[in-house]
């Protein structure tokens, strides 16, 4: 086994095969249009001739003498009775025929023009012009040369040529069909010099090679036959096609040699052309695709390469791997964000190579001695080993039986494939992998059970939930890979998202509710409670308690407990999510009636409530600062501790939500009902005024549009007011409200829909209007434009929708689903294009952004060279921070009102909108609808 890469492929040159070359590299001339005889042995000279490689184990290749997997396969060849045109080059052949003389074969441009063109091409190359530019230029040259009436060299009159798709050329004047033979003869006449002017390198591709006289037959390993259960063999599509070619070729040769009528020979010739054409591309426009007996179109050469399932995208750009695992995921709040819980079953199967050296040989021997232990899935877990690779590269599978023996035979230089242990570095991934945080490095923690587990804070970067999601795990195999993964891919290194320069990993859902209970209005905890909250924090000592002056009892405050996990010397102040202020001037800072202004000085929480704005993912200000200023290690520690602390506080308090949370008193319901009715009356009035023509038209709108706009506005108000009324009766002691206000989950809109009124349903942003003639449902009169007839739901989710309302709601919901389905495919394709366009760009050492060829795209990345992940909401440095460092507490004086509230919301949609967007089902079908334009080009 060799370590490290010793050689690199410098470059790859593409070229056409000449007939001589095809014959030279051919191992055998294929003549028999058949594969296997009755006994199941391949015919010699047939398409499965063992000279072309082997596919069955145990048989040796007749050319190289190697077995399966060792023999790379060898090409054969078919001598075509008459030449045929290669479809892939049809356009180029046409271009060549048109631009050159039909008699002397010269390019129909004057020598000066040719020289001029050549010089321009050389210059182009000097200036770094790519193939595409040259392609366009030569196309131009050809266009200039074509269409001449008379050849400037031999004065021969030129006859226009027309291409009858896909592969026949015809002289326009007398409708004479050019046979491939004639085409080939013409192409042969083109001198090398003129080819260069047309951008063709005669060394790599003489044009006459585009008209095939010999057909290369790919090795059998390229087109293996499959043995079905019944024992009969099923041939590959390519083999089928080659059989057709051979059969027709044979008939053509016989007929020609026998001197058959021209007509028959031509028909057969055309048939051969058809078979060769479909052999290359079975989707050529203009001819019916060749079909399998079952009616399925054959998958021939081009179909193998192109498209999402083609060789390029499916096998070359993406490859299958070993040492990977996939299973369902589930949460574990007690794991660190860097950890991943791996089930023992997977851990026994996944291995890490361990080089045996003089220092570890005894230890490794011990591991090997344990054997694979495939059945021992319970705890305590000790790692075994699955394979030993000897110094000569032989791989030995360790079994229960041979473990002892193999262990004894272990020597320095051997490699042992050891099973996973705690602390191994692995990559963890969830599809769709939309950004780099979709694949992060975790530390293994072998656990019981059958699922992968990780800390809930890591859900947002993967966009994972636990409703049955599965994730993949890859074990790294080399030290370099492990080091790299640990330093740049580990979860803690990805806390700050490069998308917006804020944390993407942070407290979610219950963590936030917990932190709210811990800190809101600074509750007191007695010794037992405080201990319960704190005991899961390992290295945090209990702070000194306060003494109640009246009772003399010890107590701890919530802020005090929270402060234990803040770094020393940490200072910040900001408005919490529960803050009700609408602008900065209104804010009373420390005296906020809602406890909504957070002040932290020297790592002490002085006042304020900790909620999403403090520790939440994508918004957490404290998290943001710690990750940026104290390093990823400290940030990871903070997240681990804050989640444990919050859960401790939540468990101490107890928390649950249910349908009774949306209970509002009878009077409120009445009030909402009255209010809604008022609005509906107004809508009716609007409709009446529309009918009577008294409705005031809005500028730039038709009368009907004016009505729709005002009705939508009116009904929007109805819903909002219903929500407000309901909100008044839902106080801060209501769990659902707490969640919404603290930013843990849900929004006040969700609540008002549940308790107050669902509101207007819309499709394409308009009131519902389609269904029956002039009405949405047969329950309404024709032409009814009122609120209820057009999709207004005045009930709440809790009170229950009426049948018509339910139907309208389903209509609105359907739009959301359709939208999601369309969007995933469209955005998937957009991202594929973006990545393909931008993947080569990197920041070079001189600060410029260049592509890999060296073209400068930006002289300074982002105009300031700052990493977006390290910015503060897009700003290069945090001014608040800077001024605080320099001026201390008086820094506040410098804040100007016109500045944006730095550290406010980091962008993502509001939670209630996210609800609709949440992806159901599996990630893999993500780009099923991917629009692939392969083949349709040009």
Partner 1 sequence: MAKKDTMNALLKRSISEETATLLLTKYSTLSDISAAGESELVELGMTEDEAKSVLSKVGKRAASTSTKTSKKKVEEEVPSAPMEEVTEFYTYNETELRLKDIMKKENIELPMKIIVDIAARIEGHDVPDDKCRELIVRANDMYLRHRMDQNESAGVMAAHSIGEPGTQMNMRTFHYAGVANINVTQGLPRLIEIVDARRIPSTPSMDIPLSGIAAQDENVARLVASNIEMTSILDVATIDTDITNMTLIVRPNMRKMEERHLEVDELVDKLNKVKAVRGMVKLSGYDIVIQSDEPSYKKLQSMYDAVKTAKIKGIDGITRAVLSKTEGYWKIVTEGSNLKEVLNVEGVDAQNVMTNSILEVADVLGIEAARNSIIHEAMGTLGEAGLDVDIRHIMLVADLMTNDGYVKAIGRHGVSGKKSSVLARAAFEITAAHLLHAAMVGEVDHLEGVTENIIVGQPVTLGTGAVNLIYTPKKKGDKE
Asked whether position 693 contacts partner 1 by CB under 8 A, the answer is no
Q: Which of 879, 911, 912, 915 binds partner 1 (CB under 8 A)?
A: 879
Q: How far apart are CA 712 and CA 707, in angstroms?
A: 8
Angle at the Cα of 488 from the Cα atoms of 487 and 490, rounded to 5 degrees: 80
C-alpha closest to that of 150 among 101, 105, 113: 101
> For residues 158 and 151, is the Cβ–Cβ distance under 8 A?
yes
> For residues 295 and 310, is the Cβ–Cβ distance under 8 A?
no
Residues 208-247 that bind partner 1 (CB under 8 A): 210
Task: Give the shortest CB-371-to-partner 1 separation in angstroms.
Answer: 34
C-alpha closest to that of 574 among 178, 892, 917: 892
Task: Give the shortest CB-924-to-partner 1 separation in angstroms.
Answer: 15
Asked whether position 428 contacts partner 1 by CB under 8 A, the answer is no
Q: Which of 173, 468, 583, 933 binds partner 1 (CB under 8 A)?
A: 933
Nearer to partner 1, 59 or 856 (CB): 856
> For residues 621 and 574, is the Cβ–Cβ distance under 8 A?
yes
Four-point Cα dihedral 643, 646, 647, 653, nearest 10:
180
Q: Count the site residues for partner 1 by CB under 8 A.
A: 128
Nearer to partner 1, 470 or 629 (CB): 629
Q: Which of 855, 901, 921, 928 binds partner 1 (CB under 8 A)?
A: 855
Residue 182: partners with Cβ closer than 8 Å, 6 or more residues away: none
30 sits in which H/E element = none
CA atoms within 13 A on the CB side of 378: 0
Which of the ranges 1-9, 329-337, 365-373, 735-743 carries the binding residues for partner 1, by CB under 8 A? 1-9
Nearer to partner 1, 229 or 893 (CB): 893
DSSP state of 879: H
Strand residues in 425-518 grouped as ranges (E):
425-429, 439-447, 452-454, 470-475, 496-497, 502-503
Q: Which of 297, 331, 735, 935 binds partner 1 (CB under 8 A)?
A: 935
Nearer to partner 1, 595 or 881 (CB): 881
Nearer to partner 1, 154 or 709 (CB): 709
Nearer to partner 1, 453 or 628 (CB): 628
Nearer to partner 1, 655 or 894 (CB): 894
Q: How far apart are CA 616 and CA 509, in angstroms?
A: 9
C-alpha closest to that of 526 among 560, 554, 558, 563: 554
Asked whether position 718 contacts partner 1 by CB under 8 A, the answer is no
Q: Which of 88, 409, 603, 735 binds partner 1 (CB under 8 A)?
A: 88
C-alpha closest to that of 486 among 633, 385, 334: 633
Task: Give the shortest CB-921-to-partner 1 separation in angstroms.
Answer: 14
Nearer to partner 1, 510 or 880 (CB): 880
Residues 127-166 that bind partner 1 (CB under 8 A): 130-132, 134-135
Residues 348-387 that bind partner 1 (CB under 8 A): none
Residues 468-497 that bind partner 1 (CB under 8 A): 484, 488
Asked whether position 892 contacts partner 1 by CB under 8 A, the answer is no
Q: Which of 163, 287, 374, 876 binds partner 1 (CB under 8 A)?
A: 876
Q: Which of 164, 192, 404, 867 binds partner 1 (CB under 8 A)?
A: 867
Nearer to partner 1, 310 or 620 (CB): 310
In total, the chain counts a number of residues equal to 938
Task: Give the shortest CB-474-to-partner 1 separation in angstroms.
Answer: 16
- CA-derived radius of gyration, the chain: 38
Q: How far apart are CA 511 and CA 643, in angstroms?
A: 6
Residues 724-783 that bind partner 1 (CB under 8 A): 764-765
Asked whether position 435 contacts partner 1 by CB under 8 A, the answer is yes
Nearer to partner 1, 302 or 424 (CB): 302
> For residues 475 and 342, is the Cβ–Cβ distance under 8 A?
no
Structure tokens at 855: 């073209």
Task: Give the shortest CB-574-to-partner 1 separation in angstroms.
Answer: 17
Residue 147: partners with Cβ closer than 8 Å, 6 or more residues away: 98
Residues 799-838 that bind partner 1 (CB under 8 A): 819, 822-824, 826-828, 830-831, 833-838
SS3 527: helix
Q: How far apart are CA 572 and CA 662, in angstroms?
A: 36
Q: How far apart are CA 910 and CA 740, in angstroms?
A: 11
Q: Which of 292, 875, 889, 924 binds partner 1 (CB under 8 A)?
A: 875
Asked whether position 670 contacts partner 1 by CB under 8 A, the answer is no
Q: How far apart are CA 796 and CA 749, in angstroms?
A: 12
Asked whether position 258 contacts partner 1 by CB under 8 A, the answer is no
Task: Give the shortest CB-184-to-partner 1 separation in angstroms.
Answer: 16
Q: Which of 3, 857, 889, 892 binds partner 1 (CB under 8 A)?
A: 857
Residues 532-571 that bind partner 1 (CB under 8 A): none
Asked whether position 900 contacts partner 1 by CB under 8 A, the answer is no
DSSP state of 657: -
Asked whether position 915 contacts partner 1 by CB under 8 A, the answer is no
Which of the ranges 202-210, 286-294, 719-727, 803-811 carries the binding residues for partner 1, by CB under 8 A? 202-210
SS3 483: helix
Nearer to partner 1, 372 or 502 (CB): 502
Structure tokens at 176: 């004479």
C-alpha closest to that of 583 among 907, 892, 899: 899
Nearer to partner 1, 251 or 826 (CB): 826
Task: Give the shortest CB-138-to-partner 1 separation in angstroms.
Answer: 8
Nearer to partner 1, 694 or 896 (CB): 896
Which class for 101: exposed (0-12), middle (13-18), buried (19 or more C-beta within 10 A)? Answer: buried
Residues 161-200 that bind partner 1 (CB under 8 A): 199-200
Interaction pattern, residues 570-609, with partner 1; x per rule: CB under 8 A: ----------------------------------------
Structure tokens at 80: 């075509």
DSSP state of 179: P
> For residues 41 and 17, is the Cβ–Cβ distance under 8 A?
no
Structure tokens at 503: 């944390």
Q: How far apart are CA 290 and CA 279, in angstroms?
A: 9
Structure tokens at 38: 């009755």
C-alpha closest to that of 617 among 718, 477, 526, 511: 511
Nearer to partner 1, 608 or 828 (CB): 828
Four-point Cα dihedral 625, 631, 634, 640, nearest 10:
70
Residues 285-324 that bind partner 1 (CB under 8 A): 302, 305-307, 310, 312-313, 316-317, 319
Task: Give the shortest CB-243-to-partner 1 separation in angstroms.
Answer: 23
Which of the ranges 150-158, 322-330, 722-730, 857-865 carries the binding residues for partner 1, by CB under 8 A? 857-865
Task: Give the shortest CB-321-to-partner 1 separation in angstroms.
Answer: 12
Which of the ranges 69-77, 204-212, 327-335, 556-564 carries the binding residues for partner 1, by CB under 8 A? 204-212
């Amino acid at each position: 086994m060799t370590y490290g890469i010793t050689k690199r492929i410098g470059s790859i040159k593409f070229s056409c095969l000449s007939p001589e070359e095809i014959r030279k590299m051919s191992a055998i001339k294929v003549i028999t249009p058949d594969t296997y005889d009755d006994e199941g042995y391949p015919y010699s000279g047939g398409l499965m001739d063992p000279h072309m490689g082997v596919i069955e184990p145990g048989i040796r290749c007749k050319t190289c003498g190697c077995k399966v997997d060792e023999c790379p396969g060898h090409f054969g060849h078919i001598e075509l009775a008459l030449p045929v045109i290669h479809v892939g080059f049809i356009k180029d052949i046409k271009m060549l025929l048109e631009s050159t003389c039909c008699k002397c074969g010269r390019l129909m441009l004057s020598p000066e023009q040719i020289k001029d063109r050549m010089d321009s091409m050389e210059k182009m190359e000097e200036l770094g012009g790519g193939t595409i530019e040259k392609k366009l230029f030569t196309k131009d040259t050809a266009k200039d040369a074509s269409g001449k009436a008379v050849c400037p060299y031999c004065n021969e009159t030129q006859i226009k040529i027309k291409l009858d798709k896909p592969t026949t050329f015809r002289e326009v004047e007398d409708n004479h069909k050019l046979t491939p033979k004639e085409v080939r003869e013409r192409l042969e006449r083109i001198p090398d010099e003129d080819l260069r002017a047309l951008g063709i390198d005669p060394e790599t591709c003489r044009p006459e090679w585009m008209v095939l006289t010999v057909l290369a037959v790919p090795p059998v390993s390229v087109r293996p036959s499959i043995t079905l259960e019944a024992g009969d063999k099923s041939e590959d599509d390519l083999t089928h096609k080659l059989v057709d070619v051979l059969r027709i070729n044979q008939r053509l040769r016989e007929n020609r040699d026998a001197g058959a009528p021209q007509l028959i020979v031509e028909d057969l010739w055309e048939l051969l052309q058809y078979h060769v054409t479909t052999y290359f591309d079975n989707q050529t426009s203009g001819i019916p695709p060749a079909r399998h007996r079952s009616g399925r179109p054959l998958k021939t050469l081009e179909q193998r390469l192109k498209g999402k399932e083609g060789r390029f995208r499916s096998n070359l750009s993406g490859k299958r791997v070993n040492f990977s695992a996939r299973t369902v995921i589930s949460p574990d709040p007690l794991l660190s964000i860097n950890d991943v819980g791996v089930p023992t079953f997977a851990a026994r199967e996944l291995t890490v190579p361990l080089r045996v050296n003089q220092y570890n040989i005894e230890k490794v021997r011990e591991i090997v001695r344990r054997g694979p232990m495939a059945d021992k899935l319970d705890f305590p877990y000790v790692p075994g080993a699955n394979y030993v690779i000897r110094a000569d590269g032989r791989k030995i599978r360790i079994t229960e039986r041979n473990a002892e023996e193999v262990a004894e035979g272990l020597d320095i230089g051997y490699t042992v494939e050891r099973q996973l242990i705690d602390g191994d570095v692995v990559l963890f991934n969830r599809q769709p992998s939309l950004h780099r945080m979709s694949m992060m490095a975790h530390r293994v923690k072998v656990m019981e059970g059958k699922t992968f587990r990780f800390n809930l804070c890591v859900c947002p970067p993967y966009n994972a939930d636990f409703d049955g999601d599965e994730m993949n795990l890859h074990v790294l195999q080399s030290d370099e890979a492990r080091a790299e993964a640990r330093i740049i891919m580990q979860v803690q290194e990805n806390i700050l998202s490069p998308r917006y320069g804020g944390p993407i990993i942070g407290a979610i859902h219950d963590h936030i509710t917990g932190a709210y209970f811990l800190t809101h209005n600074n509750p007191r905890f007695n010794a037992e409670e405080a201990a319960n909250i704190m005991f899961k924090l390992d290295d945090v000592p209990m702070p000194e308690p306060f003494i109640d002056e009246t009772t003399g009892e010890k107590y701890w405050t919530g802020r005090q407990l929270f402060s234990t996990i803040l770094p020393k010397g940490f200072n910040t102040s900001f408005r919490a999510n529960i803050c009700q202020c609408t602008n900065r001037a209104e804010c009373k800072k420390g005296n906020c009636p809602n406890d909504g202004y957070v002040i932290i000085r020297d790592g002490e929480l002085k006042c304020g409530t900790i909620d999403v704005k403090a520790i939440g993912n994508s918004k957490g200000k404290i998290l943001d600062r710690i990750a940026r200023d104290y390093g990823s290690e400290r940030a990871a520690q903070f997240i681990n501790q804050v989640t444990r602390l919050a859960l401790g506080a939540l468990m101490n308090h107890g928390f649950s939500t249910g349908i009774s949370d949306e209970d509002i008193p009878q009077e409120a319901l009445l009030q909402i009902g009255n209010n809604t009715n008022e609005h509906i009356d107004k809508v009716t009035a609007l409709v009446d005024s529309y009918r009577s023509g008294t409705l005031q038209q809005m500028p730039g709108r038709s009368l009907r549009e004016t009505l729709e706009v005002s009705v939508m506005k009116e009904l929007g108000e109805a819903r909002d007011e219903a929500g407000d009324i309901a909100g008044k009766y839902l106080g801060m002691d209501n769990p659902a409200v707490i969640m919404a206000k603290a930013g843990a989950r849900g929004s006040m809109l969700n609540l008002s829909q549940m308790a107050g009124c669902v509101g207007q349903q819309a499709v394409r942003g308009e009131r519902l209007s389609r269904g029956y003639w002039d009405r949405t449902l047969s329950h309404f009169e024709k032409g009814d434009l009122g609120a209820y007839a057009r999709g207004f739901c005045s009930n709440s989710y809790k009170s229950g929708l009426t049948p018509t309302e339910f139907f309208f709601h389903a209509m609105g919901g359907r739009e959301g689903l359709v939208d999601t389905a369309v969007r995933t495919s469209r955005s998937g394709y957009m991202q594929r294009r973006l990545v393909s366009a931008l993947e080569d760009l990197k920041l070079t050492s001189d600060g410029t952004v260049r592509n890999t060829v060296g073209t400068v795209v930006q002289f300074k990345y982002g105009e300031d060279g700052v990493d977006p992940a390290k910015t503060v909401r897009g700003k290069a440095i945090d001014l608040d921070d800077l001024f605080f460092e320099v001026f201390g507490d008086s820094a506040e004086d410098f804040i100007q009102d016109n500045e944006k509230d730095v550290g406010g919301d980091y962008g993502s949609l509001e939670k209630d909108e996210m609800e609709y967007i949440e992806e159901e089902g599996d990630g893999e079908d993500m780009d099923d609808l991917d629009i692939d334009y392969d083949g349709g080009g040009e």
